[in-house]
């Protein structure tokens, strides 16, 4: 059975987030949505152009650039939106605060309401819709307060496709503000084991790739933690000077870069850390 993956990548203001349409002969599944209304409308227009029913949507993790667009995607209809229990619960916990925090800045581009996941899918559980089987894997805290990923297979076999959310970024800086980089590293290890043999991994930001995406993210996070440890200078928190450096080294590259995330990320992180070392040795 043929399965076609269509990728919609949001604009830069919408954080270049990927949302995916999985088209089978009988219908379409969505994996993740967009942050902003206009991006989700463009995503929905691509769905409508396929002329097939939306059989369900799947949300990988509890960040608004992935769940915000569910309301626009549903468009007033009842759509089954699947998420693991912890992802669904965390979205309920954070969505109102995110709306209050960001809608003054984004205005009408930030959806006024949240369409919450309404179909629980437990860790290890699978649903088959239109001949496409989606299996959920709960990860817990990592890039967000609640991460998960999905493996997708069809009846004709072949290696599964992995929809990994933001467990690994490709070619861009990672969001680390939720503060779970230790758990995130453990998640990468679990994912690497679970996704050996996967045909392709589809990340929340950047281009699809192989399990090397996970290795590159591990390298990035180790460099990030080393840089933060260095800036903390033995302390348990960062002072204002150190925080200013973190903001500097975390500033997104903004554009897709030809180099892999791990390499460019590592280089930039080390540059900032090295600069501090130089300053220290001068002083
Ligand atoms: Zn994201």
Q: Tell the residue number behind the tokens 């080393």, with chain if given.
A: 226
> How do the pLDDT tens digits run along the chain, 283 residues long?
789 999 999 999 999 999 999 999 999 999 999 999 999 999 999 999 999 999 999 999 999 999 999 999 999 899 999 999 999 999 999 999 999 999 999 999 999 999 999 999 999 999 999 999 999 999 999 999 999 999 999 887 777 999 999 999 888 888 888 889 999 999 999 999 999 889 899 999 999 999 999 999 999 999 988 888 888 877 777 777 777 776 665 554 443 343 333 333 333 444 444 445 544 544 3
User: 78: how many CB neighbours lie within 10 A of its CB?
Assistant: 7
The domains found in the chain, sorted by start residue, are: 4-210 (3.60.15.10)
61 CA to middle of ligand 1, Å? 9
CA of 224 from ligand 1 middle (Å) equals 18
* Rounded distance from Cα 60 to ligand 1 centre (Å): 10
Q: Cα(1) to centroid of ligand 1, in Å?
A: 30
Residue 233 C-alpha to ligand 1 middle, in angstroms? 30
Cα 49 to middle of ligand 1, angstroms: 25
Predicted pLDDT at 1: 74
Q: How far is the CA of 141 from the centre of ligand 1 (A)?
A: 14
Q: Would you state the pLDDT for residue 259?
A: 37
Indicate if the alpha-carbon torsion angle 101, 105, 106, 112 is positive or negative.
Answer: positive
Can you list the alpha helix ranges (DSSP code H) found in 51-144? 64-67, 70-74, 85-106
This prediction has a pTM of: 0.84
Ligand 1: centre distance to CA 278 (Å)? 34
Q: State the distance from the centre of ligand 1 to the C-alpha of 207, rounded, in angstroms.
A: 13
3-state secondary structure of 31: strand
Q: How far is the CA of 62 from the centre of ligand 1 (A)?
A: 9
- What is the DSSP track for 94-119? HHHHHHHHHHHHHGGGS-SS-----E
| The pLDDT value given to residue 22 | 97
Tokens of 194: 């679970």
> CB within 5 A of ion ligand 1: which residues?
65, 166, 204
CA of 170 to the centre of ligand 1 (A): 11
**Side-chain-facing half-sphere of 113: CA atoms under 13 Å:** 9
- Please tell me the distance between residue 34's alpha carbon and the centre of ligand 1 in angstroms: 9
């Amino acid at each position: 059975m043929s399965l076609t993956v269509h990728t919609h990548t949001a604009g830069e203001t919408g954080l270049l987030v990927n949302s995916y349409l999985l088209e089978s002969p009988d219908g379409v599944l969505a994996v993740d949505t967009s942050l902003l209304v206009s991006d989700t409308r463009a995503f929905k227009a691509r769905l409508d152009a396929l002329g097939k029913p939306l059989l369900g949507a799947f949300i990988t993790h509890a960040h608004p650039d992935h769940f915000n667009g569910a309301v626009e995607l549903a468009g007033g209809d009842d759509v089954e939106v699947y998420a693991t229990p912890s992802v669904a619960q965390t979205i309920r916990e954070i969505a109102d605060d995110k709306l209050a925090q960001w809608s003054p800045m984004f205005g009408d581009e930030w959806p006024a309401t949240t369409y919450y996941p309404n179909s629980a899918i437990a860790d290890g559980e699978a649903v088959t819709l239109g001949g496409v089987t989606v299996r959920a894997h709960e990860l817990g805290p990592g890039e967000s307060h609640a991460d998960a990923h999905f493996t997708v297979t069809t009846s004709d076999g072949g290696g599964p496709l992995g929809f990994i959310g933001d467990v690994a970024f490709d070619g861009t800086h990672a969001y680390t503000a939720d503060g779970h980089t230790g758990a995130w590293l453990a998640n990468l290890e679990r994912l690497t084991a679970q996704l050996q043999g996967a045909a392709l991994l589809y990340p929340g930001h950047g281009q699809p790739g192989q399990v090397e995406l996970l290795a590159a993210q591990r390298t990035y996070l180790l460099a990030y933690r080393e840089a933060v440890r260095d800036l903390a200078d033995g302390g348990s928190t960062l002072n204002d000077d150190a925080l200013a450096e973190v903001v500097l080294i975390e500033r997104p590259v903004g554009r897709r870069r030809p180099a892999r995330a791990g390499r460019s990320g590592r280089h930039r992180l080390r540059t900032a850390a090295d600069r501090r070392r130089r300053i220290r040795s001068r002083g």
